[in-house]
Amino acid sequence: MTDDASRKSNAELASDLLALHQPGNPVVLPTVWDAWSAKVAAEAGFAGLTVGSHPVADSIGRPDGEGMAFTELITRVEQITRAVDLPVSVDVEAGYGLDPAAVVTGVLGAGAVGLNIEDTVHSEGGRLRSAEEHAEYVAGLRAAAVRAGVDLVINARTDWFKGQHGDEASRVDEAINRMALCAEAGASALYPVAFHSEETLARICLELPLPVNAIARPDVDDLEMYRRAGAGRISFGPTWQMALAKVSAEWLARWRG
């Protein structure tokens, strides 16, 4: 557990986290779900962490897609930030029906200095925000962070690929356009979530004006591919937790008798 007196300020941690985002030399931010997984990742030598909504929800018996309350997520984030002395970013899904200022207050109050914000509005039947609406929400987050005096690392995510929206032939163009609006609105990084081919990821990284977050599977994917493609940040989503569950099931099967 970290000593509160020696812990860096939110402003310092946010600056540290932002500086780690380097296209072509991506920071790997393992996606954790509790204090134990955070300590495992910290002791392995990583410079920062992400908190994933999906693995957190699984860990407390809730469904992903805003099936847990924002307060439940924030409680877990507080436990994580107290356990490690690293900058932490948290997946706030689409904002849990809250206005941007309330989200920023909760995240910073829990000791996190970055967030993911996606465009799938789970509280409204899973509809996709328009590109302009999503950018407006990002702008609201940035304005709240400025008022708080912290350069919050806003990782604007689109589910355009994940949901297979639009026509396949123009999907990359449309996703890039959506992300570009978020960049103009004050995002720090851009997250077109999907397991892209190297060619597609390279094009996205080349055409977007900010570091691109790529999702990876820690047990099977290749860090060098993400470097070649120009990614600036890598996170795992629920895939580290899933890989641990798989190998744990194999180990435990030997003991069923």
2 pLDDT exceeds 60? Answer: no
4 pLDDT exceeds 80? Answer: no
163, two tokens:
């949901």
pLDDT of residue 1: 58
Above pLDDT 70, what percent of the chain? 98
Comparing 5 with 22, the larger pLDDT belongs to: 22
225, 200 contact by CB (below 8 A): no
pLDDT of residue 72: 98
Q: Which amino acid is at 75?
A: T
pLDDT of residue 132: 98
3 pLDDT exceeds 70? Answer: no
HEC sequence for the chain: CCCCCCCCCHHHHHHHHHHCCCCCCCEEECEECCHHHHHHHHHCCCCCEEECHHHHHHHCCCCCCCCCCHHHHHHHHHHHHHHCCCCEEEECCCCCCCCHHHHHHHHHHCCCCEEEECCEEHHHCCEECCHHHHHHHHHHHHHHHHHHCCCCEEEEEECCCCCCCCCHHHHHHHHHHHHHHHHHHCCCEEEECCCCCHHHHHHHHHHCCCCEEEECCCCCCCHHHHHHHCCCEEECCCHHHHHHHHHHHHHHHCCCC
C-alpha to C-alpha distance for 233 and 200, rounded to whole angstroms: 16
What's the N-to-C CA distance of the chain in angstroms?
A: 38
- Could you count the other beta carbons within 10 Å of the beta carbon of residue 176? 18
pLDDT, mean of residues 61-88:
97
Which pLDDT band holds residue 33 (cuts at 50, 70, 90)? very high
All structural domains of the chain, each given as residue ranges with its CATH number in brackets, are 10-250 (3.20.20.60)
pLDDT, mean of residues 80-86:
98
Cβ neighbours for 27, distance < 8 A, ≥ 6 positions apart = 20, 21, 47, 48, 232, 233, 234
pLDDT of residue 6: 72
Above pLDDT 90, what percent of the chain? 95
- Kindly report the pTM of this predicted structure: 0.95
pLDDT, mean of residues 130-153:
98
pLDDT of residue 7: 82
Q: Alpha carbon of 116 to those of 1, 167, 199, 224: distances in Å?
A: 25, 26, 24, 24
pLDDT of residue 257: 77
